[in-house]
Structures are given as structure tokens and as C-alpha cells.
Amino acid sequence: MKCPYCSWEESKVVDSRPIEEKSAIRRRRECLKCFKRFTTYEKVEEVPVMVIKKDGRREAFSRKKILNGLLKACQKRPVPMKEIERLVDEVEKQVYNSAEREVTSQQIGEMIMNQLKDIDEVSYVRFASVYRQFKDINTFMDELSKLIKEK
């Protein structure tokens, strides 16, 4: 690692600690020539996963989009933020751990709904109504009937 002060190429690690829920490492280094200290960060480089939208467009996977959708579905419901974040973590893990570099928005939606159903049924129906684009009351009732039969 090159020193940012004198450009010397040798340094020693003085301190090292995990950050960002152990997904990165912060290293405090000291230059062996000028003895000044500086900080570096080490993180695993992730290959971006592309999401294929319903209309065929492709965009990079966004954890934030999933979180926003779940926040809307769980609005004014007794679902703790910790539970929502756990669900987002789980979906993100499934997406990145699959061998595929492309995933459909339908697959992501199903992953979310499979878990949301067990957390809060009202939030599940809200999410499903937007995700599945219910056209009328009959499609809404069909989804509710499926939910009741599973109980």
C-alpha cells in the first residue's frame, strides 16, 4: 500500500477491525519511511447482479428498492424494523448466493412474499396487490382465498 504522504510503498498494519457488519475491514497503517499513519479499507468486490424487469429492461439489483417496498407494505402495521431489515438481508443473500448474474423481478417478488406471508398477512396482501398488479376485486379475493386455505 502506497503512503498517501510520501508515496513510499511499504507500511505496516497497526490496527485492524471489522466494520459494516463484518463485510469490510478497516486497517490503520503506518508508513515505514515517514512514520505517518493512514487508514485503508478492504472489502470483497461484488459482481453486480442484474434484475430483469417485467418489460425486459435490466437494472442493477437494489437493496434500497426492496426496503422501500417493504416499508410501504408494512406501514402502520406491527412489524418491527428489525424484522423488515432481516427480510431484506435474507433476500439480498439469496440473490447474491445464487450462481446467476441475472434474476427476474418476479423471482425477487416471490422471495419477498414467501417470507412476508409468515411475518404479517396484511402486509403480505398489500405487497402482493402492488406486485401482482391486481386488476379487480376478483383477483384480490383469489389471493385472499389462497392465504386462508394455507392456514
**pLDDT over threshold 80, residue 21:** no
H-helix or E-strand containing 115?
Answer: helix 105-119
144 pLDDT tier (thresholds 50, 70, 90) = confident
125 pLDDT tier (thresholds 50, 70, 90) = confident
pLDDT at 4: 95
